[in-house]
Chains A and B, each alone.
Chain A
Amino acid sequence: MALEHADVLRAAHLARLGLSDEDATHYLDDLGRILEMVDHLQALNTEGIAPLAHPLDATQRLRADEVTETDRRDHFQRCAPAVENGLYLVPRVVE
């Protein structure tokens, strides 16, 4: 699949990354080569092989349902640009 300039900008927008046109051209090349490799992989015959959800051959460990965390709000909010009444403040989200 050929990647286009607009695809790169769209992916960047979905992740809210600011890319200059020049950056986008650069990523177009990089990502294009990654997708080429994916095309190679797609060409393999995988019939009868179960899809791999995780490269580690292990299963998920579960934890007991216990509250182990204490309130460390002040600590966490030290790196926030703006807080008020315990809330994190972010640029207005208008629906």
Chain B
Amino acid sequence: MQWETVIGLEVHVQLATQSKIFSGASTAFGADPNTQACAVDLGMPGVLPVLNEQAVAMAVQFGLAIHAEIPEVSVFDRKNYFYPDLPKGYQTSQMYHPIVGPGEVEIGLDDGTTKRIRVHHAHLEEDAGKSLHEDFHGMTGIDLNRAGTPLLEIVSEPDMRSAKEAAAYLKAIHSIVTYLGISDGNMAEGSMRCDVNVSVRPRGQAEFGTRAEIKNVNSFRFVERAIEFEVERQIELIEDGGEVVQETRLFDPERDETRSMRTKEEANDYRYFPCPDLLPVVLDAAYVDHLRESLPELPDEKRARFQGELGLSAYDAGVLAASREMAEYFEVVKDTCGDAKQAANWVQGELSGALNREGLSIHDSPVSATQLGGLISRVMDDTINGKAAKQVFQALWNGQGVSADEVIEAKGLKQVTDSGAIEAMIDQVIGDSPAQVAQYRDAEPEKRGKMIGYFVGQVMKASRGTANPQQVNALLKDKLDALC
């Protein structure tokens, strides 16, 4: 039987505010346990939450970026459950009137086409604390620094049909939130995590199969692997005559499998109700318009401009627009050298290669965008040839010189285009290589093209790589053929 996979994602994005969603405690990562948990975060009696305006603004910016409706009124609800890292006994969340209504995110597929994934809604909520189950004499240690950190939960419709699409969607969300600067998107530190809902159904069937929810997946790669495993598990189960149970599962990256999280399934009963400590949040049109006007250029728009205005290929435009830092770097290179295609080639070729080798992000590149732009300009105006350009790049990478011009001058890499000088070098090489000249002369004319390589190499060596290779080629051919 042909099976179809149906996937929906709930992505939790930690918003990059200074203080918590309902209190003035710091959200900085890595502080000593409980030094950033104030009376509000601890759920002390008599405290009242006050909503952080920046968290609201960031949520609305996200909504605008995915072309979502922004309802005038949103309401906070209490989601009640009992767990020690949730000292209030409820999580303040938005169940019925979220701050961001339906929107959509465009993802790029491998075949070059795009697909729209609908977002059901996005809501604001607070994060819980952290439980440490290591050795505390049989007790559990609780750190509430994270309690009250603002989260935006982005809930998709079940529109994805493969693990690849799910990963592409997660990457698109990552790219949007980092472009907006509303999250650092650091998955390793938990700034972005997702719950994956997966089900399978026979191809062509309209209704969905029973889904399993995989909790807390925290990398792009794990999302793909968790889904691939889970799909296979469900298909095998059904084909063996079993039934998928609706349950929460955990992905174990070490064993590459998902496992049921609860042995005794107790149906969740969160008893949501409107939070009496918080009033409805009302956003007027002027406020939303103001935020709309202040939105930066977003990945989709940038990709379209790179392709349309700058004439880059869809692939190049996609890679360069994927992260804001990469796009900004590329644009400075392009503006400095004045040629988008050359800039794209260098950023994705030499630069990305070197960054990958050293495990650096573009943010930490030893070669600045202006330096790289300056280098490309010198290739384009024929001051240096391609080989010398690589040497200049390496020198800049190693910090030997502040600009391409300085390196070119210091290392004497300026391209020799004076044909008199090149001819003199050629004469020298020909004079020094009687055996090779004889071979060339005796060879069939159609084989001579290949044999000329030896002479080109010698001349380039004699010029220490600075001769113009096209000129060397042409002059050599003339001189050698004159000897035949």
Chain A interfacial positions (CB closer than 8 Å to B)? 14-16, 53-54, 56, 58-69, 71-73, 76-77, 82, 84-93, 95
Contacts and interface: CB of A to CB of B under 8 A. Distances in A.
B244 interface: no
Given A62-B51, A62-B52, A76-B42, A14 B271 contact: yes
B229 interface: no
Contacts of B81: 14
Given A60-B280, A65-B18, A92 B142 contact: no
A76 to B, nearest CB: 6
Contacts of A87: 33-34, 132, 136, 141-143
The secondary-structure label for the interface of chain A is loop
10 contacts: A14-B80, A53-B97, A54-B274, A60-B280, A65-B18, A66-B18, A68-B24, A76-B42, A87-B34, A89-B140
A89 B271 CA distance: 27
B299 to A, nearest CB: 25
Contacts, number: 128
A69 B132 contact: no
List of 6 A-B pairs having minimum Cβ-Cβ separation, nearest first: A68-B24, A87-B141, A65-B54, A62-B53, A86-B33, A69-B38
Contacts of A85: 33, 141
Contact of A65 (B33, B52, B89, B271): B52
A87 B18 CA distance: 23
A69 B25 contact: yes
A75 to B, nearest CB: 9
Given A54-B279, A69-B23, A76-B37, A63 B52 contact: yes
B128 to A, nearest CB: 12
Interface string B155-169: 000000000000000
Contacts of A72: 38
A64 B53 contact: yes
Interface string B128-141: 00011100101111
B294 to A, nearest CB: 16
A59 B34 contact: no
A84 B140 CA distance: 10
Given A53-B274, A54-B278, A93-B140, 9 more contacts: A15-B89, A53-B280, A54-B75, A54-B274, A58-B279, A71-B36, A86-B34, A89-B139, A92-B138
B276 interface: yes
Contact of A93 (B26, B33, B34, B83): B83
A84 B141 contact: yes
B5 to A, nearest CB: 28
A63 B51 contact: yes
Contact of B140 (A54, A69, A77, A92): A92
B349 to A, nearest CB: 41
- Determine which residue in B34, B136, B282 has the highest number of CB atoms from chain A within 10 A of its CB, and name it: B34
B35 interface: yes
A15 B269 CA distance: 11
Contact of B56 (A56, A62, A67, A73): A62
Interface in B23-52: 23-26, 32-39, 42, 44, 50-52
Given A53-B274, A65-B55, A89 B141 contact: yes
B92 to A, nearest CB: 12
Nearest to A68: B24
B142 A88 contact: yes
B53 A65 contact: yes
B208 interface: no
B133 A93 contact: yes
A55 to B, nearest CB: 8
B138 A76 contact: no
A82 B139 CA distance: 10
Contacts of A58: 279
Given A53-B274, A65-B19, A89-B136, A60 B281 contact: yes
- Determine which residue in A69, A76, A86, A90 has the highest number of CB atoms from chain B within 10 A of its CB, and name it: A69
B252 to A, nearest CB: 13
A67 B276 CA distance: 25
Contacts of A56: 279
Interface string B261-292: 10000000101001010111110000000000
B82 interface: yes
B84 interface: yes
B278 to A, nearest CB: 6
A56 B406 CA distance: 70
- Determine which residue in B32, B38, B75 has the highest number of CB atoms from chain A within 10 A of its CB, and name it: B38
- Determine which residue in B133, B138, B280 has the highest number of CB atoms from chain A within 10 A of its CB, and name it: B280
Contacts of A73: 32, 34-35, 37
A60 B278 contact: yes
- Determine which residue in A15, A66, A88 has the highest number of CB atoms from chain B within 10 A of its CB, and name it: A88
Contacts of A84: 136, 141
Contacts of B34: 73, 76-77, 86-88
A54 B271 CA distance: 17
B144 interface: yes
Contact of B19 (A54, A61, A66, A90): A66
A35 B44 CA distance: 30
A92 to B, nearest CB: 5
B67 to A, nearest CB: 25
B141 A88 contact: yes
